[in-house]
Amino acid sequence: MFDHLKKEGFRSVRIPVTWYTHQSDTAPYTVDATYLNRVKQVVDLALADGLYVEINVHHDSWKWIANIATDHDKVMARFNSTWQQIAATFKDEPRTLLMESVNEPVINNATDAQRTQYMNELNTSFHSIVRSSGGRNADRLLVLPTQGCTPSQPLMDDLNAEIASLHDPNLVATVHYYGYYPFSVNIAGGTSYDAQNQKYLADTFALMRSEFVSKGIPVYLGEYGLLSEPNSGTVEHGEMLKYYEDLNYHARLNGVTSALWDDANYLDRTALKWREPDLMALIKTSWTTRSGTASTDNLFLPKSGPIPAQTITLNRNGQRFAGLWQGDLPLAPSRDYTLNGDQLTLTSAALTRLAGDRAYGENATLQVRYAQGRPWQLHVISFDKPAVSAATGTTTALTIPTRFNGDQLATMEARYADGSNAGSASWTPFQAFNTAFAPDYAGNALVLKPDFLDALKDGTPATLTFHIWSGATVTYRVTKSGTTVTGTAA
C-alpha cells in the first residue's frame, strides 16, 4: 500500500495508532511489546518508501484522555507512560518521522479555561518527554493540536500561545477540516458547494496562515475530507469535486500541508485502486494547479417533447476555456454551443443529438476542457418527474416504491401541517441525507430510516417534500401510529 501511495505522488502518510486496546489500564500502563513492534514495522515500511510519516495517540483521546478533568493524576500518568514507551521505541528513527501528541483531544466536564489548561498540560508534557528521550528525538518535528483539532480562532490562539511558550523551532501545529457542516453531511438544505461554503473554507484556511504559517509555524492539516463518505451519494458528485478542488487550492495558497483522511473509502487497499478515480485525479492535479469546474455536472433533458437549449456557468478558476468535447470528438462552436463570458450554452440541436433514444438516465458524457487541470464532466440525462407509491412499514424502516425515471434525489424536507419541522433534525425541516432517508436507485425505492421515523409525532401526519436535482419536487405524506408507519403520495 505504501509503495502504491508513493507511486501515486503522495509524500507523507499519517498513521493513526490506538494504544489502549493493547495496553494495561493500570500502572505502569505497559504497551504490549508485540503490538509496539508491529507499529514500528509499519512505520519503517513507510519510511523505506521515502515517505514522511506521522504517528500519534489516536482513539485514546476520547476513550480515557477525555477524563483528565475528573481523573487528572491517573490520566497524566498513563499519557506520560504511553509517550515514554513510544519515544524510546522510535528515538533512532530518521527525522522524517513526526510525532503528534494526541488526536482530536476532547476534555469532558470542564470549563473553557480548564480545557485550555489541560490541553496545554498534555502538549507540554508530551514535548518534555520526547525531547528528553535522547537520540533523534532531540530535534524531531513534534506536532501539537488544537482542542478537537478544530481550526477556530480562539483555539488556534490558545495553541499559538502554547507553542510560543515552548521556545522550540521544531514544532508543527495541526488542525482538521471537514467543511461547512450542513454541506458536509447534506442537511439543512446544504446540497451545493455554494458561496457560503466557499467563504467558510477560504476564511478558515486564511486563518491557519495568519495564526501559524505567517509566524513561521508549519501547519499539518492532519485530516481533511467530508463527514459523509465520498462514495455514499450523500453529497452530489459534482458538488463534491468542487469542494475538494477548492480545498486543495486554498491549502496550497496558504502554505498548509494536507493529509486526506482515508478509512478505506478512497483507496481499495486490497486491489490498490481508487474507488473514485476522477476525484483522486482532481486532488493530485490540485497539488500543482487549479482545475476549472462549472455550476453543475448534470444536464437534465425531458424524456419527451422538444429539448430546449441549456446554459451553465463556468467556474474557470483562472483557467482558459479550451473547448467542449465528447470523448475524442470536439463539439463545434456556434452549431453545438456558444460561449458568452462564463455562460456556456448548449444548443437544442446538440442536446437532441446527444440524447439519442432518450432512455432514462445518462445518454452521453461531455468534457468541458480548460487549458490546464482536469476536464469538467457534464452528464446528459433524460428524465421524467419521479413517482412515489403508497407504502406501509414500521419505525424500523419505511420503504417507499419509487420510479426515479432517471432523476436523482437532492434532499428531503419534512413539516407538520402547522409548519413546524418534523423529524430528528428538529432545528431544520431539511433532514440528514443517508441518516434520516436515502434513495435506493437499484431497488426503485426511497427509504425512511429509524432516525427519522422514531422522531415523528404519534398520530400526526407529516408532509415530506423530496427535492430532486432536476428541480422537480415530489410530495408524500407519512403517519406514525405506535410502531406502524403508513405513507401515501400527497
Active site residues: 104, 223
Q: How many helices (H) and strands (E) does the chain have?
A: 12, 27
Q: What residues have CB less than 8 Å from 274, skipping those under 6 apart?
A: 266, 267, 268, 280
Q: Report which secondary-structure segment, H or E, holds 363.
A: strand 361-370
Q: Indicate the SS3 state at residue 192.
A: coil
Question: 128 with 167: CB under 8 angstroms?
Answer: no
To the nearest 10 degrees (0 to 180), the angle between helices 33-48 and 72-90 is 50
Query: 225 near 178, Cβ under 8 Å?
Result: yes
Between the alpha carbon of residue 344 and those of residues 87, 170, 301, 315, 450, the distances in Å are 58, 50, 16, 11, 43
Tell me: cis bond preceding 28? Omega within 30 of 0 counts: yes
What angle separates helix 277-285 from helix 237-253, to the nearest 10 degrees?
20
Number of Cβ within a 10 Å radius of residue 27:
10
User: Could you give the CA distance from residue 148 to residue 66 in angstroms, rounded to a whole number?
Assistant: 11
CB 243 within 8 A of CB 197: yes
Specify the residue for cell string 440541436: 349
Q: Are 209 and 450 in contact, with CB atoms under 8 Å apart? A: no
CA 5, CA 18: separation in Å to the nearest integer?
A: 22
Q: Which H or E element spans position 12?
A: strand 12-15
Closest CA to 68 of 126, 101, 117: 117
